[in-house]
Structure 1
């Protein structure tokens, strides 16, 4: 088996944290515009953006299996032939990777791909936010509501969450690791259909201090 992975150094570190099977050839590239790539059984794009040109390039790279990091955009919005996974920062290092497909015949090969990295796939419905990112984003949003109501400080809320739930990070710590841009994109998308996902004004305020206007965000 030959696998090509488009990723940043940080993503590669998370993906390979459990080791890589030595008998499989894995080629890591910085972007999927690199030329003269060899044929591969699978192409994994961890830097995926839902843009026509990028989708076209992906389709040219592998005739068998294309796996993309797409937490917000679903398969009908990308390509129904792709497999989408949750590869947000901190989640890619997990033993269990959330994934969705519309083609059950591709599940076996996808599972073989992740076995190379000593990981298993948890197949979930093809919905925006999968399961874990949606829940964690809501927890982060609720933490910002608590902060805006002066319930406690960021540090105390982080500590309480880690002690009370055994989560690896508190909500504010996790938000920084994931990236507020990812959180905002998902919450904005979900809130179009369900108002309970509307971002807290405190979260929006903190996001706008360091990022582009919300109107420029796309899944």
Structure 2
């Protein structure tokens, strides 16, 4: 980037934390919060909105942030739990919203999936792609559906593993070992879900189930219970496994 980009990351979840960490050392990017930008009278170029789980919260957050930014500021909105088109419909200026899908493991992520809402102007789409390219990420444009591609497919695999665990077909360790060795996945699906955050996995499945109305997207009751309990995986110390420290773990079932 040759010109300084002022960027605000909105959210208190793991994805927001990961984005701030990823963007802070990037040359030409200054990460601010909305209030700081307003106080310093700094015009933001990009706002990244990260809420996923509760639609009402996402809608209120998007509408609130418009009070802090100019009408032409690009909004990048996480589409793990809602489509970009739905998110854009809540804005006064819907043409400036572009959807993206990423889990919180951004340091290990080479590719960011992007989608245009039906309302998105082509100029904002180009700006979104240029931004992610400039911070070292590959981009791929896909159709605007909840979860896009990788998060959707991985969440479905995790959900099936959660059903298998709940139905006592096998233990968590055995399920993960079978999938890791049988498919050459880098991690088993249950441990992988714990690494990424069960709340984001649940958001994708809930959004797909709500939008598609098909039972195959119904979140496993065990997954739902873990999220409701606040047991979101490694970041909270327990999910499908209990973590005594960053390395050691034992399954909950």
TM-score range, shorter chain: 0.7 to 0.9
Q: Does 1:144 align with 2:162?
A: yes
2:176, 2:190 within 8 Å by CA — same for their partners in 1? yes
* 2:132 aligned partner: 114
**Offset of residue 53 of structure 1:** 4.8
| Unaligned ranges ≥5, structure 2 | 11-15, 89-93, 232-253
Q: Measure, in 2, the Cα distance between the counterparts of 1:47 and 1:205.
A: 20
State the TM-score, normalized to the length of structure 1: 0.79
Q: Matches of 2:35 and 2:59 in 1, distance apart?
A: 14
Map 1:15-26; keep pairs closer than 5 Å: 15-16=22-23, 20=26, 22=27, 24=28, 26=29
Quote the offset at 1:123 in angstroms.
0.7
The two structures, once aligned, show a CA RMSD in angstroms of: 2.7
* Corresponding residue to 1:43 among 41, 47, 63: 47
| TM-score, scaled relative to structure 2 | 0.69
**Which has the bigger relative contact order, CA under 8 A and spacing at least 6?**
1
Residue in structure 2 matched with residue 207 of structure 1 by the alignment: 227
Q: 1:191, 1:197 within 8 Å by CA — same for their partners in 2?
A: yes
Which residue is equivalent to 2:84?
A: 75
Distance 1:36 1:70 in 2: 29
* Counterparts in 2 of 1:188 and 1:66: CA distance versus 1, 3 Å: closer
Instruction: After TM superposition, give the deviation of residue 151 of structure 1 in Å.
Output: 2.7
In the TM superposition, residue 142 of structure 1 has moved relative to its aligned partner by 0.4
Change (3 A) 1:105 1:185: same
In the alignment of these two chains, the number of paired residues is: 205
Instruction: Name the SS for the 1:118 alignment partner.
Output: coil
User: Unaligned 5+ residue runs, structure 1?
Assistant: 212-219
Tell me the residue number matched to 1:216: none
Q: Contact 2:35–2:68 at 8 Å: present in 1 too?
A: no
Aligned residue number for residue 183 of structure 1:
201
